[in-house]
Chains A and B, each alone.
Chain A
Amino acid sequence: MSKTVALISANLKGFARNRMSVLLLVVFPMLIISVIFSSLAVDVPKKIPVGLVPGHGYEDVAELNGAVSSFLTVTEYASMRGCVEGIKDYRNYLCIEISGSKPVVINAYYDNTREPVIYEILQKIKSAVDFVQKQKSREIASDFLDKFDNTMVKVGKFKNDLSSIDADLDGYIAEVDASIRELQKTRSELRQTLDSMDSDLYTIRYNEGYLKTQKNNIYSAMHSYISDVRNYLSVRNAQPGDADYNLYTSIRSRTDAVDASLNNFNNAANGYFAVIDARIASYEDASRKGRQKLVDIDNSIAKLKSTKQNLYDYKAETSMAKSDIAEIENDFREIQGVDAETLVNPVVIRNVPVYSADPGAGELGIENILHGLNSLSLQIIFPKLLLLVTLFLSLLISSFVCVNYINSDAIQRIRVVKGVSMQEAASICVSSLIIMILPIFSILALGSALFGIAILPNFPAVFLIITLLSANFILFGMAIAYVIKKESITLLVSTFMLVLFVFFSGVLVPIERMNAYFAFVAGNLPLNTALEAFNKAVFYGKDVFSLGSETALLLGWLAVSAAVALGAKRLRRA
């Protein structure tokens, strides 16, 4: 370890005291970095000229002009042809034709030789249009919501009325219920009375029939006796003077009297029976009428029940009405809850970016929105810039330090010492890392200060990623130096390798455009792996432990780079 430290110290002192190397590998890169970063301002002061051709249906041209005036110089054209000529003369970056209101259609004619700028401007214009649209929508929605509030009051009153009706219906239902119960009780009592009366009538009629039969039997028997007596008398036929003539006449007169009495009695009894029958008939008629009353009562109960059912039905309807009103209220509340855009546009597609570049800004104004867009575009560029600079510095510094070391006079004496090969390689690697600290930390500080990238809160992860990436390319640069040994050619080859790495970084050509094999390789190269890990750390606050797979992959590459570097050192006896 002490030997490694001694060599690191010698390397670093040698580097630091060599003004030219410090100038070329630290000051010059930092100067370039400063120039690059200071050229990327979040609030772009330069206005970009664009042409505007107002189309049909879009009425907010003046407001749009106001919204984009901070970053665009808008020239209005009567026709698209004139505007496009402006593009060809490089007077305009693009021509916008805005038409319609729902939705707003933006036709953008642009010079596709300046694509990256155009897309950014288009994005900004879209944001400005969205903003104006949203402002308008808010005004309309505000008016609408005022009216809506009144409607809500009316709905509330209607709901109260319905509740009152519901309560009344409950009262009616209770009253009908009481009437039904009363009628049922009356019917029950009447039925009992009628049943009792019918039973009595039956008994009376039975007894009457019995009495009639008995009377008729007695009458027939008595009449038969009287006939017999008369027959006896006719046989005797006593004449006046007969001894028994008095008796005879007496018996005959008495028999006539008995017969007359019997007939009278019979007639009287029949008269009584007729009266009884009439009374019974009268009672029976009353009973029938009573029974009819029962039917009437039943009908009344049925009617009351029907009424009750109707009341229940009304109540159900009022409940449904209340429920409908509640639903309407909910719907209204939902409508009250939705924002202006949703209210105005029935379908609102919202792209919700997961990362917010400027979370504090909110949506307070177009300036803030554009500031956020600028911040975002710069924050997205920053990791690529940082890692590309890391790549450049790692490769160039390590190959420079390594080639300087292996060509230094001191190497001849160092090589005489046995068993320092690993320490030599380690010292170059660590020295290169230390030399890189200043420029890399400067970039991180610039990124944090100028672009508001969350580097400090995620510093452990950022530090780990940068260190692993740097170590990877440092070892690779060392391998190049060990293989080539000559200073000029080493730096030339390092530059070629830089081009290769930059190409496969996805900065020049998106990885998605490469064929499957190269896309896979490029996607898993240290630069892209580190880029993903870095983005995860600074944009989404992933800590060191959440970056396990990327760290493992970078460590894997580190092992490969170390093996290549040490293999080259051994093979070339460098």
Chain B
Amino acid sequence: MEPVTLEAKDLAVGVEKFRVSGISFSLCGGDILGLVGRSGEGKSILIKTLTGLRRPLSGKITVKSGDSETGMAEIAGYSPQDNALFPFLTVEENIATFAELHGVKRKELEEKTSSLLKRLGLEKSRKKRIIELSGGMRKRADLAAALIQDPSVIILDEPFNGLDVSVQQFVWELLADLAREDRIIIISSHILGDMQKRCTKFGLVLEGKYYGTERILEAIREKKAKNLEGLLNSLFSGRLAMEEK
């Protein structure tokens, strides 16, 4: 896999009256960027902008695979909040459909599917329709669909909603493995403990502004917070503010 880098510079996302600005970060293979913030602050809009589903209001996103610049769509696997699958298709049919859309060669499909299903523990469920699966298995199937084209960048929007702890741990382990394969992981979640533990970089979306890792670490120091979770809990409850008014 070609080494991949992702850089966002002075990015602003959203719509005219609701926007998140000041988004700048730089990621490379192995990075796990954790996006945190209260509900409705704009994390999902930022994620959708990163996937290419929305256009940025300003700024630029640069993705490089090796030395050449490429588009996010070509190298990104996306797992939205709700599982993005055809509910009446089986797991393998879903995988095959998205593989076809991403241009995966048919010769490689069977092998990749089998390998992916094994990795995600879905071998026994490959012939089952999505609606027949539990929430955890659906998330696994969704990840399988996101990973079938072997993406260098994996973007997950609130992947743990409604999942039990064991599945959450499974997903985290998977993401860690994927990061170890020099992939970039971008994830948004409200489970701050795991985010603090697993992510290598952070982005805070708060009141229309984006705060990067350095500013967050600086804030932890400035606000004398115990850790990221403590800072965010204080910020979200309104006891603290990132910027002096």
Which positions in A face B, CB cutoff 8 Å? 2-3, 5-7, 9-10, 13-15, 17-18, 408-418, 420
* B101 at interface by CB-CB < 8 Å: yes
| Inter-subunit contact A409/B129 (CB<8 Å) | no
Which of B52, B76, B84, B93 is within 8 Å of A411, CB to CB?
A: B84
Contacts of B37 in A (CB 8 A): none
B73, B80, B86: the one within 8 Å of A418 (CB) = B73
Distance in angstroms between the alpha carbons of A49 and B84 in the assembled complex: 64
With a cutoff of 8 Å between Cβ atoms, the chain A residues found around residue B220 in the complex are: none
Interchain CB contact under 8 A, B100 and A2: yes
Pairwise interchain contact A417-B102, C-beta atoms closer than 8 A? yes
Contacts of A410 in B (CB 8 A): 84-86, 94, 97
**Do A3 and B73 form a contact, CB below 8 Å, given A13-B88, A409-B87, A413-B145?**
no
For the complex, is B53 an interface residue (Cβ under 8 Å from A)?
yes
Q: Quick check: B74 and A413 within 8 Å, CB to CB?
A: no
Measured between beta carbons, the chain A residues less than 8 angstroms from B71 are: 418
* Top 10 closest pairs, chain A to chain B, by CB: A413-B84, A6-B100, A17-B88, A418-B73, A412-B80, A412-B84, A14-B88, A10-B97, A417-B101, A416-B78
Question: Total contacts A to B, CB within 8 angstroms?
Answer: 75
Contact A17/B100 with A409-B85, A413-B78, A416-B78 known, Cβ cut-off 8 Å? no
B82 at the interface (CB under 8 A from A): yes
Q: How far apart are the CA atoms of A413 and B154 in the complex, in Å?
A: 12
Q: How far is the CA of A407 from the CA of B86 in the complex (A)?
A: 11
Q: Which chain B residues border A14 with CB–CB below 8 Å?
A: 86-89
Main secondary structure of the interface of B (DSSP, over half): mixed
- Residues of A contacting B74 with CB < 8 Å? 418
- Choose one: A7, A17, A413; the contact of B80 (CB below 8 Å): A413
- Given the complex of chains A and B, what is the CA–CA distance between A13 and B94 in angstroms? 11
**Smallest CB–CB gap between A347 and chain B, Å?**
71
Which residues of B58-93 are within 8 A (CB) of A?
71, 73-74, 76, 78-80, 82-89, 93
B188 on the A face (CB < 8 A): no
B98 at the interface (CB under 8 A from A): yes
Would you call B152 an interface residue if the criterion is a C-beta within 8 Å of the partner chain's C-beta atoms?
A: no
A3, B101: Cα distance in complex, Å: 5
Distance between Cα atoms of A14 and B94 in the complex (Å):
11
Interface centre among A408, A409, A414 (most CB of B within 10 A): A409
With a 10 A CB-CB cut-off, give which of A408, A410, A414 has the most chain B CB atoms: A410
Closest Cβ neighbor of B73 among chain A residues: A418
Residues in chain B near residue A2, CB distance under 8 A? 100
Please judge, given known A-B contacts A6-B101, A9-B97, whether A415 and B86 are in contact too, CB under 8 Å: no
Determine if B102 and A408 form an interchain contact, defined as CB atoms under 8 angstroms apart: no
A92 to B84, CA, bound (A): 65
CA distance A5 to B106 in the complex (A): 14
Give A7 to B94 CA distance when docked, in angstroms. 10
Instruction: Tell me how far the C-beta of A487 lies from the nearest C-beta in chain B, rounded to whole angstroms.
Output: 15
Scoring A7, A412, A413 by chain B CB atoms within 10 A of each residue's CB, the highest score goes to A413
Choose among B76, B93, B94 the residue that contacts A416 (Cβ–Cβ < 8 A).
Answer: B76
